[in-house]
Structure 1
Amino acid sequence: MQRHLDVELEQLKGRITEMGRMVELQMQESIEALVARDPVKARQVIDRDHQVNAMEVGIDEDCVRMIALHQPEARDLRFVITAMKIITDLERMSDLATNISERVVELCEEPPVSIPPAIVEMSTIGRAMLTNALEAFVSRNTAMAKQVTLEDEKVNVLHRTLVRTIVESLRQHTGETSPIIRILFISRSLERFADHATNVAEIIMYMVEGKIIRHMV
């Protein structure tokens, strides 16, 4: 007979995956809104942030309840702890997508500005990192999780290069600089999004192997 805890853990896995898909869609639509100068879509992303927040609270409460009620050991306990850590990163990633959408709304009220291709590329890589991290979570695939962590440097390089370009543009620009500053903010948010995807991948490696690799060189 299947343990009741096994059923709850499987349901927990599904809820975390659902939360991750919501966050991934938020990021996708925030960049779509940026490229299309679509404040309506941007506001829709902002309005959905509370749904992700509610999911985080609900999952966290269920994890605490499972620990108190079932007192899971070893592998099951690591799974629950992993879940609690992952949803924290997912909630922060949702906040970053929301912040980008808020900048999009502001940009739509100003003269059009060219969107650097690096912004779209960073978003594409970051979303793929999240997708693969979620797949690694479901399949307990540490090789896939490791690959996610390696992708982070690509986003870092794109962000650093874009920052240098923007700083040089600000030096030469004598007019309105606020749109450029907002693009810089969006780039920083995308870089942080990738950082959180990396965190998720590292947490998954802990779940499977029982080893904490964060901050290890």
Structure 2
Amino acid sequence: MPREKYQERLTQLRDDVLYMSEIVAERLRMGMDALAEKDEELAHRVIEEDAEVNQLYLELEQDCIDLLALQQPVAGDLRFVAATFKIITDLERIGDLATNLGEHTLQAERDVFSDVDVQRIGEATLDMLDDAMTAYAEENADACFAVAADDDDVDELCENASSAVMLELIEREGVTEEDVDALMADVSRLLLTIRDLERVGDHAVNIAARTLYMIENNDELIY
């Protein structure tokens, strides 16, 4: 394959990954909206449309394999393809977490623990994902470090939210024996939701880490 054509393929790969990230972010937003509004129809859409994300992942995975095989890239091109291969995996997993939000919506029967601001956590993770993909698109090393720093704030939000759930559970009065099972199901669902959003932040950091490696051959953020 001529070198010019190869570079066009690399550019197209970057564009396709950015498109995949937009789809994943949209699914995550839909999952958050479904959860906030108890919208079962939207929750079903999030779950059903995960197949599109999975298909995009498989197609881009094959593109990465083909590019590695066609010209055996070296240096910057090799790091780009290798980093991209990892990044699409993180995007696919964020899509799975968005699906989880849809499933949590379908399982929720009551509005409990209203003081726990799950939407704030979700917005923070969406911002992290957007910033990580912007760093990838613009090859901005400083932005990669900023995403990693933001993860500390998200972790704190998640820890505080989980603690608030447990504290309110301990202090709650007037719970009848018949209500215990339903209450514990609500607690479990909410804690899983918090955990899933925290994992979205972790995947955003992974994207930033691989982007930093791609730009500067720096593995400082990879863990």
Please state which band the TM-score falls in when normalised by the shorter chain: over 0.9
CA distance in 1, matches of 2:222, 2:19: 28
Alignment of 1:207 onto 2:214: yes
SS at match of 1:34: helix
| Cross-structure match for 2:159 | 160
Residue identity opposite 1:50 in structure 2: A
The answer to whether the Cα contact below 8 Å between 1:133 and 1:200 also exists between their aligned partners in 2 is yes
Task: For residue 167 of structure 1, report the CA deviation from its aligned partner.
Answer: 1.2
For residues 3 and 55 of structure 2, the distance between their equivalents in structure 1, rounded to whole angstroms, comes to 29
Q: Which residue in the other structure is 1:35 paired with?
A: 36
Q: Is the 8 A contact 1:137 1:204 kept in 2?
A: yes
CA deviation map 1:94-121 (0-9, x unaligned) = 11111111010111xx233354453111
Paired with 2:5 and 2:116, the residues of 1 have a C-alpha distance of 49
Deviation string 1:10-66 (CA, Å, 9 cap, x unpaired) is: 100011001111111111111111111101001111111111111111111111111
Q: Conserved in 1, the CA contact under 8 Å of 2:116 and 2:165?
A: no
Change beyond 3 A, Cα 1:185–1:148:
same
Rg comparison, structure with higher value: 2
Amino acid at match of 2:208: A
Q: What TM-score comes out, normalization by structure 1 length?
A: 0.94
Q: Unpaired segments of 5 or more residues in structure 2?
A: none
In structure 2, distance between residues paired with 1:142 and 1:116: 37
Structure 1 residues without counterparts, runs of 5 or longer: none
Mapping of residues 70-81 of structure 1, within 5 Å: 70-81=71-82
Cross-structure match for 1:90: 91
Answer yes or no: is 1:100 the counterpart of 2:101.
yes
Aligned-residue offset at 1:214: 3.4
User: Normalization by structure 2: what TM-score?
Assistant: 0.91
Give 4+ residue runs of structure 1 displaced > 2 Å after superposition: 111-118, 169-176
Percent identity of paired positions between Structure 1 and Structure 2: 31
**Residue correspondence of structure 1 range 107-126 to structure 2 within 5 A:** 107=108, 110-116=109-115, 118-126=117-125
Aligned-CA RMSD value: 1.6
The amino acid that maps onto 1:92 is: R
1:146: how far off?
Answer: 1.2
Distance 1:49 1:115, change over 3 A: farther
Aligned to 2:168: 169
Q: Aligned AA for 1:59? A: L
CA shift for structure 1 position 86? 0.1
